[in-house]
Structure 1
């Protein structure tokens, strides 16, 4: 795999922010704004797009970013790096369904850098080896057998509505999976709202100490 070439960096990062191997392939340093626990975490996102702006083919079995990037190794390495930088990875129930059994942990997307991701998280003083997975669902209609809920060491929180929690009480979830209710939409005609993004982020910051969410 060839190192990434940085064409422009508005604010160069401080040196030595990455383990040596990651720094080589990333093409330099990497940093995020320093932030203590507050009312909401710092939010980052990643996606890949074509030159003409397409991020998904939106066709059955062809919605993943791998088809856009050609399963580019550098892209996967950066995806792993962003996961390693986060305290929590947020995903919707549709992503859980479409990418069934995909683990949102650094080493799953780029296993060759597993040791380097672990070292980076230790360097960043992350409390757990992997970022916790936060599944956002309004209805609670998810597959409780998905690998996300059955991976030792992976903390999982389901953020849902009162209706979603009622549905989930009828499902068999592993004991370690937490189900939390967040405020729904202010619109009365939308009882299955997933809950406001602000409410989900506030929950993660205040109850789980999340500083960076992906």
Structure 2
């Protein structure tokens, strides 16, 4: 009976450990797109990090930000409308330098797109995210797309060494529109977090469980 209780306790501790995550405060600071504050009434880059939804890095699609198409003066998304053939870049700065920890070595950048029609399937389909420490690149998450169907969500993942410092990141929307009408690139919300590496979390928990059982014998 005592062994069973110890097993339940250990597994509960493992579950609690696997649910650890740190949300990293960021703000959008600049973009090369001069139209970002006016196209279709969009809210510009300030709209990218100000939605008050309950962001959960471990279950990022459990809730969603306001992804309304920016019509009728609704300012909930960033809508880029750049020169045809040119990429759109948006730079984000961390509120303070973040140092990667051994318990949470995986850095994620979560992106949500806007609600849009089937005719827009060739938009928002060539996105890259690059992390930096100052001017030094820490890695690039290559081309990925935001789906047209709900929840219009995508994630860039970086596995970094403990002690690595991050100061900013850049999101690029590639011009793969194919319509010859400029690079239309729209984002609704961007969040950043540090999460545990699943395999290391499991190994740590199993090691603790083995130690408990050994001491009971």
Pick the TM interval, shorter chain.
Answer: under 0.3
TM-score, structure 2 as length reference: 0.25
Q: Which has the larger radius of gyration?
A: 2
TM-score, structure 1 as length reference: 0.25
Higher relative contact order (CA 8 A, sep 6+): 2
Normalized per residue, the structure richer in strand is 2
Normalized per residue, the structure richer in helix is 1
